[in-house]
Amino acid sequence: MGARPSVLTLNDGSPDARLAPLEALARAYRRALLRLSREGLGYGDARGDGVLREVLSSFLNQARGLSSRPEPLVITRGSQMTLLLAGKALVRPGEVVAVESPGYTPAWDAFRFVGAELCPVSVDHEGLRIDALERVLARGRVRAVYTTPHHQYPTTVSLSAARRLALLSLAAEHGFTIIEDDSDYEYYYASRPLLPMASTDELRSVVYIGSLSKLLAPGIRVGYLVANEQLLEKAVEARATVDRQGEPALERAVAELLEDGELQRHARKARRVYEGRRDHLVSRLRAHRHLREMLEFDVPSGGLALWLRAREGVDVEAWSRRAAEKGLLFVPGSAHGAERLARQGFRAGYAALEPRELDAVVTLLGKSA
Ligand SMILES: Cc1ncc(COP(=O)(O)O)c(C=O)c1O
C-alpha cells in the first residue's frame, strides 16, 4: 500500500493550538483539581466557578469596556452553548430572530432549536445592512438580532460605527435585544479594535457572548454570557437543566492564567504571528498569476480568516470538490447562506497554518481552480 496523501485543511478561522500555553494550563489544571478535590468536588454553581467569574468580569470590564459584574455573569462550555442559552432566555417559540445572512449558521441552528423563526438580513462592506433590518422591522415584531460586529462571519467586515449606533437606537425604539457574538475580539492588527456594542449600552439592549475557542483552542470548552440580571437568571435555569454546571477545575485553571497575565501574553504573541500569516497568505495570493484573476478580497483588519470572492461565473462548490481530490479541504461559501454573496465566496482561515503550509494551500488552490 502506498503512503496516504496528506490532507491540508483551510479551516474557517481556527487558531493554532500549537501556540497556545497548554503546558501552563495543564499545570494550573492539576493544581486546581487537587485543591478542589480537598473540598470534595461536589456539585457547584450553575453560573460557573466563582473565581473565574470574578477575574473574567474585571478583565472584560477593563479590556473591553463592559460593565459586567461577577454575580450575574455565566460561564458556559463555549459560544455554541451560550447562543442556545441566550436564545432560550430571550425567545418564545414562534418569535422572530433576525440574523445576518450570509452568517454563522451554528447560531441559526441554536435559535431554531429554541423555536425561533429566523429572518435573514443582508450584509455588505459595512456589515449588517440597517436598511434591510428596517424593512424586516416594518413587517412585524423582532425579538432579537444576532450579529458578529467585530468581524462579520463569514465576510470578515467590521460593522461601521454609524451602523452600530443605528442598530442600538433601533433596539431601543423597537424593543429587541442585540445578541453580540464577539468570538475573536483579541485579533486586531491595524489599530485598537472598536469596543463591543455591549460597552456602550450597559446591557440594556445587548447580550454579549464570547469564548476561549479562538484565543486558546476550540477543544477547550469555556465561554461566557454577559447580560442583564433578568436574562441571566433565565439563562442559568436553562444551563442547569441541560448541563447542571461546568467543569470547576478547568474554569479555575483558566482563572489562574487570566489573573497572572498568561492569556494576555499569549494573545499578544498570537496576534503578531497571525498578522504575519495573514500577510503571507495575502502576498502569495496576489503573486499567483491565475488566482489573482480568479479571486478578489479585501485585507481584513483582524480576525483569523480572509473572505475570498471568486470571479463571476466561477462555481465555488465545484472548485472545493476538485481541491478535495487534490488534498485541500475548504468549505464553499454556500454553507453560510443562500445569497449570491455567500455562493461566490469562501473563508480562508490562515491562523492555524504555518507559512510553508499556506504556500501549499495556494499551490493547491491554483491547481484546482
Ligand atoms: C461567529 C462565531 N461565533 C462563535 C464561535 C466559537 O464557537 P465556540 O465558542 O462554540 O467554539 C465561532 C468559531 O468559529 C465563530 O466563528
Domain that holds residue 12: 8-20+264-368
Q: Which of ligand 1's atoms lies nearest the C-alpha of 82?
A: 10
- Residue 34 CA to ligand 1 center (angstroms) comes to 31
Q: Are residues 220 and 303 in the same domain?
A: no
Q: Are residues 169 and 247 in the same domain?
A: yes
pLDDT above 90: percentage of residues in the chain:
91
| Mean pLDDT of the 218-238 span | 96
| In-domain check, residue 2 | no
Confidence at 357, pLDDT banded by 50, 70, 90: very high
Look at residues 198, 231, 260 and tell me which one is the last residue of a structural domain.
Answer: 260
**Model confidence over 278-318: pLDDT tens digits?**
999 999 999 999 999 999 999 999 999 999 999 999 999 99
| Atom 12 of ligand 1, residue of closest alpha carbon | 183
Q: Are residues 33 and 82 in the same domain?
A: yes
**Model confidence over 190-222: pLDDT tens digits?**
877 789 999 998 889 999 999 999 999 999 999
**Model confidence over 120-169: pLDDT tens digits?**
999 999 999 999 999 999 999 999 999 999 999 999 999 999 999 999 99
Give the Cα separation of 114 and 329 in Å (integer): 32
Look at residues 205, 235, 260 and tell me which one is the last residue of a structural domain.
Answer: 260
- Residue 145 CA to ligand 1 center (angstroms) comes to 17
> Is the CB of residue 213 below 6 angstroms from any atom belonging to ligand 1?
yes
| In-domain check, residue 279 | yes
> Is the CB of residue 57 below 6 angstroms from any atom belonging to ligand 1?
no
Please state the φ and ψ torsions of residue 95, each to the nearest 5 degrees.
-75, 160
Q: Are residues 363 and 214 in the same domain?
A: no
Q: Using a CB cutoff of 8 Å and minimum separation of 24, what contacts does 254-260 make?
A: 254/25, 254/28, 254/52, 254/212, 254/222, 255/49, 255/51, 255/52, 255/54, 255/55, 255/56, 256/28, 256/31, 256/32, 257/21, 257/24, 257/25, 257/28, 258/52, 258/55, 258/56, 258/59, 259/55
| Atom 5 of ligand 1, residue of closest alpha carbon | 183
Q: Which of ligand 1's atoms lies nearest the C-alpha of 107?
A: 3
| In-domain check, residue 174 | yes
Nearest residue to 328 via CA among 95, 4, 38, 11: 11
- Residue 4 CA to ligand 1 center (angstroms) comes to 31
SS (H, E, C) 183-250: CCCCCECCCCCCCCCHHHHCCCCEEEEEECCCCCCCCCCCEEEECCHHHHHHHHHHHHHHHCCCCHHH
Number of domains in the chain: 2
| In-domain check, residue 42 | yes
Mean pLDDT of the chain: 95
Confidence at 72, pLDDT banded by 50, 70, 90: confident
| Mean pLDDT of the 99-119 span | 98
Does residue 2 register a pLDDT over 80? no
Does residue 1 register a pLDDT over 50? no
> Is the CB of residue 155 below 6 angstroms from any atom belonging to ligand 1?
no
- Residue 21 preceded by cis peptide, ω within 30: no
Mutate to test the pocket of ligand 1, among 99, 153, 220 (most ligand atoms within 8 A of CB): 153
CATH code of the domain covering residue 278: 3.90.1150.10
Q: Are residues 237 and 205 in the same domain?
A: yes
Q: Are residues 153 and 35 in the same domain?
A: yes
- Residue 170 CA to ligand 1 center (angstroms) comes to 26
Q: Are residues 221 and 334 in the same domain?
A: no
Nearest residue to 7 via CA among 346, 247, 240, 325: 325
Whether 204 and 180 have beta carbons less than 8 Å apart is answered as no
User: Taking the mean position of all CA atoms in its chain, how far away is CA 69?
Assistant: 22
Look at residues 260, 284, 304 and tell me which one is the last residue of a structural domain.
Answer: 260
| In-domain check, residue 1 | no
> Is the CB of residue 147 below 6 angstroms from any atom belonging to ligand 1?
no
Q: Are residues 133 and 268 in the same domain?
A: no
Q: Are residues 12 and 48 in the same domain?
A: no
- Residue 109 CA to ligand 1 center (angstroms) comes to 13
- Residue 214 CA to ligand 1 center (angstroms) comes to 8
